[in-house]
């Protein structure tokens, strides 16, 4: 008896024509809070919205000695900012634990 490799057989989640380029934006406020930016024409402070626009949108919050990445995910049709957790080391995707455990 042979064992087949674990593969997910599914079509693409989005066509290439509908895919958008993703750029990482550095922000000074944790999303979705508004952030203050300076208007280049007037030099006056303005509020900039950080509401999620599309799935996969990325923001990097940078403050003093802390840098945290946030990404937009679709939860039951609602776009939501989620904090990314940085891992060191390798995780076995089949068990969710480090290799060898």
Provide the pLDDT for residue 9. 63
Mean pLDDT value across residues 59-88: 89
- Lowest mean pLDDT, pick from 18-22, 27-31, 61-65, 67-71: 18-22
Provide the pLDDT for residue 73. 92
Provide the pLDDT for residue 36. 86
Tell me the pLDDT tens digit for each residue of 1-53: 455 556 666 666 666 677 667 678 888 899 999 988 888 899 899 998 999 99
Cα separation, 58 vs 71, in Å, equals 5
From first CA to last CA, the distance across the chain in angstroms is 27
Name the DSSP class of 15: -
Provide the pLDDT for residue 14. 67
Mean pLDDT value across residues 46-70: 90
């Amino acid at each position: 008896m042979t064992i087949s490799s674990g593969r997910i057989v599914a079509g693409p989640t989005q066509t290439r024509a509908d895919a958008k380029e993703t750029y990482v934006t550095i922000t000074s406020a944790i999303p979705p809070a508004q952030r203050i930016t300076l208007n280049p024409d007037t030099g006056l402070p303005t509020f900039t919205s950080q509401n999620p626009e599309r799935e996969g949108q990325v923001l990097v919050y940078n403050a003093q000695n802390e840098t945290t990445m946030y990404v937009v995910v679709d939860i039951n049709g609602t776009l939501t900012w989620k904090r990314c957790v940085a891992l060191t080391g390798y995780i076995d995707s089949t068990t969710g634990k480090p290799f060898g455990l």
